[in-house]
Chain A
Amino acid sequence: MTDEAALAATPVLLGRYTDASITDRIADIVLARPVHWGWIAAAMVSGALTLLFVVAISYLFAKGVGIWGNNQPVAWAFAITNFVWWVGIGHAGTFISAFLLLLRQRWRTSINRFAEAMTIFAVAMAGLMPILHLGRPWFFYWLIPYPNIMNLWPQWRSPLMWDIFAIGTYIIVSLLFWYMGLIADLATLRDRARKRWQQVAYGLAALGWRGDARHWARFDSAYLLMAGLATPLVISVHSVVSLDFAIGNTPGWHSTIFPPYFVAGALFSGFAMALTLAIPMRRIFRLKAFITARHLDNMAKLMLVCCLIVTYSYATEIFMAYYSADRYEIAMTVNRMQGPYAPVYWSVVLCNVIVPQALWSANVRASTVSLFVIAIVVNIGMWLERFMIIVSSLNRDFLPSSWHVYAPTFWDLATLAGSIGTFALLFLLFVRVLPAISIAEMRKLARDKEAARA
């Protein structure tokens, strides 16, 4: 049997579980298992970075956006790079939970819950970035259409307005979808919990779910409808984000390939982040029976597919610059490869095009260490790609008199590091407070597996 065939035979659930044992196994991570040193160490590091985020935001509010390196012509820089990167990371979570549900990919069962949590926390970080970047952040609600004493309405023809609706809808729908799937598991925790405060907290959150068969029937249809809604939504969100760029006439932005290019990039970084979170999580909480080599292999393959689409997009951008014979597009392309940000461009090529090619090898996909390293490299590469698109396009636009080389300040870096820490802290708390794997769906998976064995 080859490696490939052996892996294909790896089940999505290792070992034999009953309804009761699978419930205890997952619920005990929240209710009974003592805290692991790995969790404490990660929580301390991410807690410190969260404090840094608070300091960076406080200082920003005290001093203004001048503490960042942004200036004309590079007005967008780190804040918008972070925004696009974080939104993109969210996309893989929705893809796993919604798209794979519609396609009846049952291996998604043990990874959808934490992937959805990843989506929510990533989109929360993304949503902060444009507000921090506003300069007058307390006026952000002016983007929302409501009858007001200024007698003003938003500019509906601007992609920045579309963004508000896309991101706002995305975070609300992701939250509802996640919570809907959680209700039955919260009822399980309510019934398992021994401490009074846990019974009250989980009891309130479970809304009195009692597993009524008619409720389950409605739940199934609502959950499927929600997945059907989330799937086109997730495609639309990064398409709209890409239109923030593509509608502008800046060389390097004004391109029709942007929507699919951004969606593929979003899924690419999202699968990388899902692997970055899954690999340590299954180790610390000993979940290797639930998140098996098969899951990691499937995510790695999806990451490779996204890598190829992104690579094709890079090639198309270069081709179109020369094919269009637009001197500004050609100059922009040469500037990317040879200008002040050339190291960024070549790092992007290395991280996003060359390194992921290792995923063709089944041995690389089977090794958690190499997968983890590649996932980290892709995370970095995708952040740099967004930086490349924004900064290296803006820094030299049309007239050399307005050219300027942007460099980040300490506060730019602190905001990025702080948002990563806050995201990690939220995720760590999630793993301890809520079931990171859908218990109700796993019961069904375990039963079907036992039935197939019988």
Chain B
Amino acid sequence: MKTLSRREFLRLLYLMGLGAVGAGTLLEAGCGPSGSPATPTTRAVGSTPSPFPSSLPTGTLPSTVAPTATLPGTATPLPRTPTPPPATGQAYLAVARGGSPAAITRAAIAALGGIERFVKPGNDVIVKPNICSASYSYEYASTTNPEVVATLVTLCLQAGAKRVRVMDSPFSGTEATAYARSGIDEAVKKAGGEMERMASMKFVRADIPQGKDLKNWPVYQDILKADVVINVPIAKTHNRVRLTLGMKNLMGVVEDRPLIHLNLGQRLADLTSLIRPNLTVIDAVRILTRGGPSGGDLSAVQKLDTVIASHDIVAADAYGATLFGLTGDDLEYITAGAAMGLGQMNLKALKIEEIRLN
């Protein structure tokens, strides 16, 4: 073996170092805390939550895993700032009924002070509907009404938003199929918005300072960085927490979803304290009264032609519960969220504007 000059030796050392760092990063990214390649936190591509949790019901995943924390520009993002309550005299929560999905959506937003209260010119807006599966079209009331979503996109663009992205992460089916079958893909593109596939490279570990159970969870970073987040759930029953409304809809932007189901009520409140959507618009054009959240039985669908809107996600969910004959007290995540100060669940104390269009 020929002897190396000093320069050649240093160069070799430098290259080996780079190679080791690169290989280390790739290996670390591919292997989770338990060292096996299939742990959920850093699973490569996944539109559905991964089945192999590295640990069971603790709120934090082991701290040894932080594949992105060591590189520059990767400080964990902060929780979002919620929209402040409206000026006195203005509606805290609006409910519009009896018109086309587009008309009632517009009416509800107008009653809250117009979209300009939430979206300023040049804003980067994300609209987060429920596109949970590719199995059924929107008439089955398992995914958000496309007209409601498209109306919100139009309103945001009219208010001068720089761009409006619409996204969700289905628990079954691919994004492409789910986006298409829900009708949202077509409606959003016609309205001038963009559909985005939530790539796994954009999920980052975020600290949840207010979290009582969850202290830290992988979240889609664009949600935390966006200027405006509009949460557009569809109202459905759910056999674990009775109803899935606004707070449950936030699950679409986090990873490791099977783990969240253990102590779901408190964990949803914790996630809400991180994500704090600026506006929650509950699509109750059709509601799913049983067999949720996946749906499939048309006889379980009730057409209510209703839209509920508020800056306060807890209040919106509390009102949504009344559509099913329940109150906020019946839903664990609402009581947990109210206890954490994330919103108001006592509807009697709020200024609610009810609008009938027909």
Same complex for A and B? Answer no
